[in-house]
Amino acid sequence: MSVVDELVENLVERNVIKLNGALTISLVDGGLSVRGRLLSTLRDQKKGKDLLNVEIPVDAQLKVSDVVLPLPQIR
């Protein structure tokens, strides 16, 4: 195992990511809209200290085409 591998392993094992935030999903013309904000915090569990805060604004649109439902046959 290389030094880099060990470093990554140690970093990964002692850190966790915490997520907070709120998203709103709404229907818009022709699809879905997801808006909101997520806050991500990288925390060192060994030291009990936050290392990195990341704010992630979310503004995404999902296009959904028309759905065609054929009527069922009466048998």
Amino acid at 70: P
Q: Is 52 in the site for other proteins (CB under 8 A)?
A: no
Is 74 a residue that touches other proteins (CB under 8 A)? yes
Give the Cα separation of 22 and 38 in Å (integer): 7
Residues 9-38 that bind other proteins (CB under 8 A): 9, 12-13, 15-32, 36, 38
Q: Which tokens sit at 72?
A: 């069922």
Q: Is 2 in the site for other proteins (CB under 8 A)?
A: no
Could you tell me the sign of the dihedral formed by the alpha carbons of 39, 44, 45, 48, in that order?
A: negative
Applying CB under 8 A, the residues found at the interface with other proteins are 8-9, 12-13, 15-32, 36, 38, 64, 66-74
